[in-house]
């Protein structure tokens, strides 16, 4: 039989440890419940405003194309992005508070579990030795104390499981926070791009409705001409076979038909369907990216050539617009004309010469569309692969 003071100590130990388990479990799971039940009035209001401005942007996009409407679109889009930034920041702040509290709770739980593990081990050795059985007043007392020990060990396992779950939650919250930080950075970059696009629009149009309509008409005429040329409706003359790297034209300096400034529109076509030129042009060339809100800005189109062709103009390449859904399509008035750019716009800082990227048959052509002007181009039907390569906004004189 155990001495009275030892028996009392064992019983008090059992109830003390069960009490600690309940306290620390309440700390952890009460915290989790409260944190996830939290709501932010500002966040709800932000969500409501985001929906309203999204509807406004959509409505403006469906209205007539005027300078006033375009500016209103920019203003609404800028406000929408600003609200999204506020929404993301609020989520980060709320999540940050939860992470701090959860981290503190994890520290307390870890300390409690470590303490419990040591004490349970001591009690286990004490209760499981042969003296424990012999000293019990009767078999019932021995069984009862054995069950107490089992209960403590079971609760220890439960605490360990909950601690592990809490650690998993903590890591998940940290990952969510990192993802929100990336999202915030992207949204801030979008906001800067939208503000820059609005500033560029006002500069290009000089805040004049007539100038804006002129720019729209030029973009529409160029799109019509390029589509017509790719469809084979241009007026062409066969020149003959040319070798790879041969000079085939020069870029027109300054503005020309459907062009506001010097550039080469370079398009690759297979059976009349435009292909991504970056799939054919080789990488590793010196270039300056001016396809975004400004030269060297981080919001420009991707410049990712992966092919084997030499470039049609000499470096340093000035990259003005990429292929597909470009920055200009998403952020300027030309998005009202077309949704995908079917080539790339480039210029050279060292020469106006245009060279054949592959050997093939050279054609000189022009297309007269609704604008009444003649857009001049050359086409090379490649010897290998059957691809047609178009070089637009050029002179023929060699």
Cα 212 to the center of its chain, rounded Å:
31
DSSP assigned state of 356: -
At 15, the pLDDT band (50, 70, 90 cuts) reads very low
pLDDT in tens, 136-174: 555 555 556 556 656 766 776 676 676 667 667 767 777
Which residue do the tokens 């064992």 mark?
Answer: 10
Q: Beta strand 360-368 with 235-242: parallel, antiparallel or unpaired?
A: antiparallel
Q: Are 73 and 57 in contact (CB under 8 A)?
A: yes
Distance, CA of 129 to CA of 2 (rounded, Å):
12
Which candidate, 191, 180, 166, places its Cα nearest to that of 93? 180
The overall average pLDDT reported for the chain is 79
Contact 234, 366 (CB under 8 A): yes
pLDDT (0 to 100) of residue 11: 44
Pairing relationship of beta strands 394-395 and 273-275 according to DSSP bridges = unpaired
pLDDT of residue 167: 67
Token couple for 206: 């000089």
Give the model's pLDDT for residue 104: 62
Q: What is the pLDDT of residue 140?
A: 58
Tell me if 327 sits within 8 A of 307, measured CB to CB: no
Domain segments of the chain: what residues?
A: 4-205, 214-395
């Amino acid at each position: 039989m155990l001495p009275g003071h030892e028996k009392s100590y064992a019983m008090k130990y059992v109830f003390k440890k069960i009490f600690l388990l309940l306290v620390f479990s309440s700390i952890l799971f009460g915290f989790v419940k409260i944190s996830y039940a939290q709501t932010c009035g500002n966040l709800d209001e932000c969500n409501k405003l985001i929906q309203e401005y999204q509807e406004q942007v959509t409505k403006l996009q469906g209205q007539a194309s005027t300078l006033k409407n375009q500016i209103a679109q920019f203003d609404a889009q800028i406000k929408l992005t600003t609200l999204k930034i506020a929404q993301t920041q609020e989520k980060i702040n709320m999540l940050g508070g939860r992470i701090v509290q959860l981290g503190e709770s994890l520290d307390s739980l870890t300390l409690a579990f470590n303490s419990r593990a040591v004490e349970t081990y001591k009690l286990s050795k004490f209760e499981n030795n042969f003296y424990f059985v012999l000293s019990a007043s009767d078999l019932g007392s021995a069984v009862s104390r054995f069950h107490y020990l089992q209960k403590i060990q079971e609760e220890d396992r439960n605490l360990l499981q909950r601690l592990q779950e809490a650690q998993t939650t903590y890591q998940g919250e940290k990952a969510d926070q990192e993802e929100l930080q990336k999202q915030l950075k992207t949204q801030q970059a979008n906001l800067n791009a939208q503000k820059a696009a609005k500033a560029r629009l006002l500069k290009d149009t000089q805040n004049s409705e007539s100038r804006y309509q002129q720019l729209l008409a030029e973009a529409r005429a160029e799109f019509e001409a390029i589509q017509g040329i790719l469809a084979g409706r241009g007026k062409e003359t066969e020149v003959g076979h040319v070798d790879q790297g041969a000079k085939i034209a020069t870029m027109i300096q300054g503005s020309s038909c459907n062009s506001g400034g010097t550039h080469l529109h370079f398009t690759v076509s297979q059976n009349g369907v435009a292909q991504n030129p970056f799939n054919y042009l080789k990488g590793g060339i010196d270039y300056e990216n001016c396809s975004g809100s400004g030269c060297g800005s981080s919001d420009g189109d991707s410049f990712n050539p992966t092919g084997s062709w030499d470039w049609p103009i000499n470096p340093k390449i000035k990259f003005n617009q990429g292929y597909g859904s470009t920055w200009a399509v998403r952020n300027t008035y030309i998005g009202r004309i077309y949704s995908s750019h079917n080539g790339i716009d480039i210029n050279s800082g060292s020469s106006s010469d245009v060279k054949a990227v592959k050997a093939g048959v050279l054609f000189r052509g022009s297309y007269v569309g609704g604008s009444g002007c003649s857009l001049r181009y050359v086409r090379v039907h490649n010897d290998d692969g059957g691809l047609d390569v178009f070089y637009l906004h050029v002179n023929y004189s060699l």
